[in-house]
Amino acid sequence: MSSSTDSLPPALAKIVQRFQRASDPKRRYEQLIWYAQKLPAFPEADKVAENKVPGCVSQVYVTATLDDGKVKYQGDSDSQLTKGLVALLIEGLNGLSPTEIVQLAPDFIQATGLNVSLTPSRANGFYNIFKTMQKKALECKLEQ
């Protein structure tokens, strides 16, 4: 395990390592598409304003529920690459406590190498998705 993944939750560390093995941008994009295709269907009824991620060019939706003290996310996007980013975050953050999620820094994106592959608007979208997921985790915690 490389030092950049030591402080990450296990699922997120695994994802970062997977992207680190994909050396060129094309492979990283293929990896994102793969994540997008694995994402479970998002309920149409949840595509409402309060679940929409602000500041994204694409339509992105995220929901969070608390199950036994652990956050469970669902998400979707109308763009395959953005959907891949949502899927990557969901896989990496599902099952963590709200506190663990809120304390995470989004700089793990640098470790994946995706930050150099993404356009500035997609990189900004990634950050907005991550921040929205943190906000929803905090809301889950406050509703306990």
Catalytic residue positions?
56
C-beta of residue 46 within 8 angstroms of C-beta of residue 28: no
Rg value, the chain, Cα: 14
Considering only the C-alpha atoms of the chain, give the largest distance between any 2 of them, rounded to a whole number of Å.
43
**Residue 44: burial class (beta carbons within 10 Å; 0-12, 13-18, 19+):** exposed
| H or E segment and range at residue 61 | strand 60-67
- Rounded to whole angstroms, the Cα distance separating 100 from 9 reads 8
DSSP string, 68-98: TTEEEEEEEESSHHHHHHHHHHHHHHTT--H
